[in-house]
Amino acid sequence: MRKLVFDIETKNIFQDVGSNNPADLDISVVGIYDYETNEFKCFTEEEFDKMWPYFEKADVLITFTGDHFDIPLLNKYYRRAGKGDLKSIRSLDVLKEIKSQYGRRMSLDKIAEGTFGINKSGHGFDAIVWWRTGRVEEIKKYCIDDVRITRDVYEYALKNKKLMFKDGPFIKEIKLETKHWEPVPEVKTQSLF
């Protein structure tokens, strides 16, 4: 199974576009981690033609809030390029899994802090400010940092069936059922008779 972890940074915020629909925003960069090549890469809009093959070869897209935000927004660009529908690729949204099993949403920063004792290198609004001031390399670094944290969170949860989060001075645990995250392919057996 070919897995692709990705994250998006935007050029604007919902207030700028007068909508709360992620597809109404504009992308500054997309960061990816490809399990098959073990590479992190980052793409600006002008480079999306080089990026699409990674998505087209993926069996599953791994994100943190991707089902609600990243996939609908990126899908706008994918369709515009005449490529089809990214929603046809299986997705695993770690935040959606947390919410469905724990009952509430949680920021990637809180999960990273509780699980690994680290914080993200910035926030989404920082990336917008950096875009507006022409600091594209800083956005790329921040986006790749988020992709790396998302990958690490995914792998930790898969292995340990839990994640941790910081709640004030306390570290709390979120138990997760992950057996459906990586379905085992069916093995066909031959009849002996």
What pLDDT digit, counting tens, does each position of 7-61 carry? 999 999 999 999 999 999 999 999 999 999 999 999 999 999 999 999 999 999 9
Instruction: Decide if 106 is inside a domain.
Output: yes
- What is the band of 163 on the pLDDT scale with cuts at 50, 70, 90? very high
**165 within 8 A of 106, measured Cβ to Cβ:** yes
Structural domain contains residue 126: yes
Better-predicted residue by pLDDT, 191 or 58: 58
What is the rounded CA–CA span in Å between residue 29 and residue 7? 9
Range of the domain at 104: 3-175
pLDDT at 168 over 90: no
Q: Is residue 141 situated within a structural domain?
A: yes
User: Are the C-beta atoms of 179 and 101 separated by less than 8 Å?
Assistant: no
Query: How would DSSP label each residue in 69-101?
Result: IIHHHHHHHHHHTT---GGGSEEEEHHHHHHHH
Between 167 and 137, residue with greater pLDDT: 137
Position 8 scores a pLDDT of 97
Q: Report pLDDT for 31.
A: 98
Number of alpha carbons in the 13 Å side-chain half-sphere of residue 60? 16
* 3 state DSSP class of 111: helix
Q: What is the pLDDT of residues 99-155, one digit of tens each?
A: 999 999 999 999 999 999 998 888 888 999 999 999 999 999 999 999 999 999 999
Say whether pLDDT at 175 is over 70: yes
Residue 88 and residue 80: Cα distance in Å, rounded?
A: 16
57 occurs within a structural domain = yes
Q: Residue 108 maps to which CATH number?
A: 3.30.420.10
pTM for the model: 0.91
128 lies in a domain? yes
Four-residue CA torsion sign, 155, 6, 19, 131 = positive
pLDDT on residue 21 = 94
CA 181, 184, 186, 192: dihedral to nearest 10 degrees?
Answer: -150
- Whether 171 maps to a domain, the answer reads yes
The burial class, CB within 10 Å (0-12 / 13-18 / 19+), for 130 is: buried
Instruction: Give whole-number Cα distances, 111 to 42, 49, 181, in Å.
Output: 23, 33, 18
**What domain count does the chain have?**
1
- Domain membership of residue 190 (yes or no) is no
Task: Decide if 184 is inside a domain.
Answer: no
